[in-house]
Amino acid sequence: MTQLRHADPLPPVTTPVAAPPEQPRTGWRARLSRAEVTWSPYLFIAPFFVIFAVFGLFPLVYTAWVSLHDWDISGAGAFVGLDNYVTLFNDPDFWNAVFNTLGMLVLATVPQLLMALVLASLLNQKLRGMTFLRMGVLLPIVTSVAAVGIVFSQIFDRDAGMVNGLLGLVNVDAVDWRADKWSSWTAIATMVNWRWTGYNALIYLAAMQAVPRDLYEAATVDGAGKVRQFWSITVPNIRPAILFTVIMSTIAGMQLFTEPLIFGQGGFAISGGSLRQFQTVSMYMFEKAFRDFDYGYGSAVAWMIFLLITLLGVVNFLVSRRSR
């Protein structure tokens, strides 16, 4: 998520140089300078659109094309129209993966954003070592996903894991974390939460600092306590930031891949557990395309992920508009 913020620096705002007015120029020069005024802004934003077309739009359209074929390792086969999608709608493994993804999305997003809110409001106080604390919450994002996955997989290991060790201290039986949906989702959501809570907290913190102080002073004069101030002033005022984090977390959550893959064990880890307890849609896409070598079907799954994210984005948008 971090690379986003610097991915597309705005092109420098340059005022197009107007042609010197004093002497009338020949026709082509005037036309050139008019053209420059008209077209140069497009030129400035072109790099983004060119890159987007090559790395975003083309793969998207091409994937749609592939998904309409019986496409395997040897290349394009017969055109099969929407057959892949029909199969997909009747594929219990696909819907299982959708269910898993949404489940982990809820488990990872809701607590994460609530914790981030609380953390941000704490960081918004006058504390000692402020910079240190604010930098501290960012540290988890610096850690590579793979490292997080490996360490947490050991923490949640059945035989030698730390969590089972702690549970043992209070006489709770060891949990086989990979064997059930609830336990595997919890373990994976923990990884996501650990990594992203601080990032969201910083976004909230930045938004909170833009809330005018006098609102709080007026509320204090009116006798509102800290908690009341938080819910009635802070949260409504940082609504755009909250919406942003919800959408970002939704997109990231729908594409959850690395954490559950590393959490899974053995040679068939991509199946996400013996009964696909924690296989996400991205994992299912990868399994179909790159293990079963059914590229057409894998592409259909990829397009369904895209549609699901779009759908969830629209829902987010409508909900936030209605509650405005």
Binding site for another protein (CB under 8 A): 4, 7-8, 48, 52, 55-60, 62-63, 66, 73-74, 150, 153-154, 157-160, 176, 178-180, 247-248, 251, 255, 265-271, 274-275, 282, 285-286, 289-293, 295, 298-299, 302, 305-306, 309
Nearer to another protein, 209 or 310 (CB): 310
CB of 263 to another protein, least distance (A): 11
Taking the C-alpha atoms of residue 151 and residue 96, their distance in angstroms, rounded to an integer, is 27
DSSP code at position 74: T
Nearer to another protein, 159 or 222 (CB): 159
DSSP code at position 8: S
CB of 133 to another protein, least distance (A): 29
- Distance between first and last Cα of the chain: 27
Half-sphere exposure of 248 (CA within 13 A, CB side): 18
Q: What are the start-end ranges of the H helices in 124-238? A: 130-136, 139-142, 145-155, 162-169, 181-209, 213-221, 226-229, 235-237
CB of 156 to another protein, least distance (A): 12
Nearer to another protein, 52 or 231 (CB): 52
Nearer to another protein, 30 or 60 (CB): 60
Nearer to another protein, 82 or 130 (CB): 82
Q: Report angle CA 210, 14, 7 to the nearest 5 degrees.
A: 55
Nearer to another protein, 45 or 133 (CB): 45
CB of 88 to another protein, least distance (A): 12
Sorted by sequence, the CB contacts under 8 Å of residue 307 that are 6+ apart come out as none
CB of 290 to another protein, least distance (A): 4
Q: Which of 174, 172, 144 is nearest to 157 (CA)?
A: 174
CB of 43 to another protein, least distance (A): 18
Q: Which of 148, 50, 104 is nearest to 250 (CA)?
A: 104
